[in-house]
Amino acid sequence: MRIEELTVGLPAPKPLRLKELALFLDLDGTLAPIAARPQDVRPDPRRTSLVERLRHALHGRLAVISGRTLADVDRILEGRVKAVAAVHGLILRDADGTVTAAPPHPALPAVVRRCREFASRDSGLLVEEKGLSVALHYRLARPQAQAARELAAELAAETGLFLQHGDMVEELRTPGPTKGDSVEAFLTRPPFAGARPVFVGDDITDEHGFEAVQALGGDGVLVGPGRPTAARYRIVGVEEALAWLEAAL
């Protein structure tokens, strides 16, 4: 069976009924378009208003589950969302503001140096340090993609860091909780406990989130082009995802 037959036929999600839900949202590629450089994603009045209204309508049962740092999520969303899982789940901030984080892997400083040395070969290569991980972006240096993937695989094998593939990025992260683990953790705590979860995301890293919510009786919603996925529903792109979320308010 072709990939298209597995993915393009996913139905659009039904209208959200916020009264019974806990909503978990990815950021890049879901609430915000993918940018050439991570720092190019900036606050947006429509997005900020949307997440603020959703948080109030859900009585706090809204969490952002992102690969970005906690500071970056707060910058982009202007601090409107309290419950956040950052760096793919390695940092968790509860709805009451309590923050827990995994200890950083000791090999990260050396890996950052290796990535920066590699990035010096092409101005389009970007190294993003996140404290608990380092990401090597090659969206602006696509001829370097294979070499970037090979370096990341080599570093993971040498250090024991977890290699996470993304959209034009290779990330080496401290082993630990995933986005799915974060969803499960939130659902054991107020105000999320007892609600039916919905996870909305676009990237391979969001598959853990889809699997987690569906194991707990909820739904996963893929944003973007069809691909093999655990999600049950699909939305065409960011603009359509924003409109779907706004229609629930």
What are the beta bridge partners of residue 196? 21
Domains of the chain and any CATH numbers? 3-101+178-247 (3.40.50.1000), 108-173 (3.30.70.1020)
User: Rounded to two decimals, what is the model's pTM?
Assistant: 0.93
pLDDT of 9 reads 77
Q: What is the arithmetic mean of pLDDT over 18-33?
A: 96
d(CA 156, CA 246): 41
Q: Is residue 174 within 8 Å of residue 90, measured between CB atoms?
A: yes
Q: What are 84-101's pLDDT values in tens digits?
A: 999 999 999 999 999 999
Q: What are 154-180's pLDDT values in tens digits?
A: 999 999 999 999 889 999 999 999 999
Instruction: Provide the 8-state DSSP code for 94.
Output: -
Q: What are 48-59's pLDDT values in tens digits?
A: 999 999 999 999
Catalytic residue among 26, 94, 203, 219: 26
Query: For residues 152-163, b (16+ Cβ closer than 10 Å) or e, as one string?
Result: beebbeebebbb
Q: Is residue 153 within 8 Å of residue 160, measured between CB atoms?
A: no
Q: Is residue 88 within 8 Å of residue 133, measured between CB atoms?
A: yes
Q: 141-145 — which CB contacts under 8 Å span 24+ positions?
A: 142/168
Averaged pLDDT of the chain: 94
d(CA 43, CA 22): 24
Share of the chain above pLDDT 90, in %: 92
d(CA 43, CA 49): 11
Q: Is residue 29 within 8 Å of residue 241, measured between CB atoms?
A: no
Q: What are 91-143's pLDDT values in tens digits?
A: 999 999 999 999 999 999 999 999 999 999 999 999 999 999 999 999 999 99
pLDDT of 51 reads 98
CB 40: neighbour CB atoms within 10 A? 10
Return the amino acid letter for 89: G
Q: Is there a catalytic annotation at residue 26?
A: yes
Please name the residue ranges forming H helices in 45-105.
45-57, 70-76
Is the pLDDT reported for residue 3 higher than 60? no
Q: Which two tokens stand for residue 120?
A: 């010096």
pLDDT of 8 reads 52
Is the pLDDT reported for residue 6 higher than 60? no
pLDDT of 4 reads 36
Q: What are 203-217's pLDDT values in tens digits?
A: 999 999 999 999 999
pLDDT of 226 reads 87
pLDDT of 45 reads 98
